[in-house]
């Protein structure tokens, strides 16, 4: 896990005193669990007490005791640090509260992976004189980190590439889109490479572009010409056979 994970738990108490206008006084407790190691070995438990956003007292498991930040906080910290039962219970929260909940969260969410659905599509067709634009889209993947790159005849393309950030779908899944601008060449191979935690290795998707319009027209013209030639041969053959039959009848017929 590259970034620290954070679990929070709040207790908030608001007291209002009405003296012609309402003034809010906030006293709250904020418990935090911070870690970055997959085995939770670097777990830190922090418990803070605040009044109107100002820290009064804080316990940090790396320090092992309460620390006061105001006059009232210092007095409370000294009193709580002298209570061995309270101090022991608070120190135990790094395991009882933090690791316990982190293990549940890791198993239920963070360790889950969903493979992206990858699609290549033509944004703008091109030919030998005009650039083409092809898009590689990855849909419905989890977790968020993903890498999409391009290959041209097996070599990594470093220019003429535009990509979006990972876009949230709103249902724990993400999507990303990358576009490559290139000038089509005969026999050239364009591929999209997707790297994600759900894959054991980078996945390569080859682009199979549609035939350019001018090539399609030539193929259609060639087909029409071939069909016309074949029809002409058939008509000529049929005429020749009909002629031979009539000629034969004239020769062997009665005088």
Tens digit of each residue's pLDDT (9 = 90 or more) over 173-202? 999 999 999 988 888 899 999 999 999 999
Which token pair is 122?
């033509």
Residue with tokens 């896990």: 1
Angle between helices 71-81 and 84-91 (to 10 degrees): 100
Q: What is the pLDDT of residues 150-159, one digit of tens each?
A: 999 999 998 9
> How many whole angstroms separate alpha carbon 253 and alpha carbon 126?
68
Cβ atoms of 179 and 163 within 8 Å: the answer is: yes
CATH of 5-110, one of 3.40.250.10, 3.10.320.10, 1.10.630.10, 3.50.50.60: 3.10.320.10
DSSP state of 61: T
Average pLDDT in the chain: 81
Q: What is the pLDDT of residues 67-101, one digit of tens each?
A: 999 999 999 999 999 999 999 999 999 999 999 99
Residues of the chain with CATH 2.60.40.10: 117-206
Residue 111 pLDDT: 74
Q: Class of the 117-206 domain?
A: mainly beta
Between 111 and 79, whose confidence is greater? 79
Residues of the chain with CATH 3.10.320.10: 5-110
> How many whole angstroms separate alpha carbon 14 and alpha carbon 27?
6
Residue 110 pLDDT: 72
Between 254 and 155, whose confidence is greater? 155
- Give me the torsion for CA of 15, 18, 21, 22, rounded to 10°: 20
- Give me the torsion for CA of 216, 217, 221, 226, rounded to 10°: 0
Question: Which pLDDT band holds residue 161 (cuts at 50, 70, 90)?
Answer: very high
Between 7 and 141, whose confidence is greater? 141
To the nearest whole percent, how much of the chain has pLDDT over 90?
A: 54
> What average pLDDT score do residues 205-217 get?
68
Residue 127 pLDDT: 67
Cβ atoms of 148 and 163 within 8 Å: the answer is: yes
Give the range among 113-122, 133-142, 244-253 with minimum mean pLDDT: 244-253
Between 170 and 251, whose confidence is greater? 170
Residue 8 pLDDT: 59
> What average pLDDT score do residues 225-249 get?
58
> How many whole angstroms separate alpha carbon 184 and alpha carbon 152?
11
């Amino acid at each position: 896990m590259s970034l620290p994970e954070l679990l929070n738990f709040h207790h908030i108490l608001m007291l209002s005193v009405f003296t012609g206008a309402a003034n809010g006084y906030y006293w709250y407790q904020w418990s935090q669990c911070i870690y970055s190691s997959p085995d939770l070995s670097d777990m830190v438990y922090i418990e803070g007490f605040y009044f109107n956003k100002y820290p009064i007292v804080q316990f940090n498991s790396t320090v092992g005791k309460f620390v006061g930040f105001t006059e009232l906080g210092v007095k409370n910290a000294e009193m709580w640090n002298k209570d061995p039962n309270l101090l022991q219970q608070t120190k135990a929260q790094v395991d009882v509260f933090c690791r316990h909940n982190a293990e549940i969260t890791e198993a239920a969410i963070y360790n889950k992976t969903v493979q992206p659905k990858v699609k290549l599509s033509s944004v703008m067709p091109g030919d030998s004189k005009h650039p083409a634009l092809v898009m590689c889209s990855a849909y419905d993947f989890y977790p968020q980190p993903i890498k999409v790159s391009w290959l041209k005849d097996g070599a990594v393309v470093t220019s003429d590439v535009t990509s979006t950030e990972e876009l949230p779908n709103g249902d724990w899944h993400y999507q990303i889109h990358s576009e490559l601008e290139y000038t089509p060449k005969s026999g050239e191979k364009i591929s999209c490479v997707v790297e994600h935690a759900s894959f054991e290795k980078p996945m390569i998707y080859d682009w199979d572009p549609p035939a350019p319009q001018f090539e399609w027209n030539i193929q259609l013209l060639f087909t029409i010409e071939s069909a016309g030639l074949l029809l002409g041969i058939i008509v000529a053959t049929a005429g020749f056979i009909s002629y031979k039959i009539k000629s034969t009848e004239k020769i062997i017929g009665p005088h």
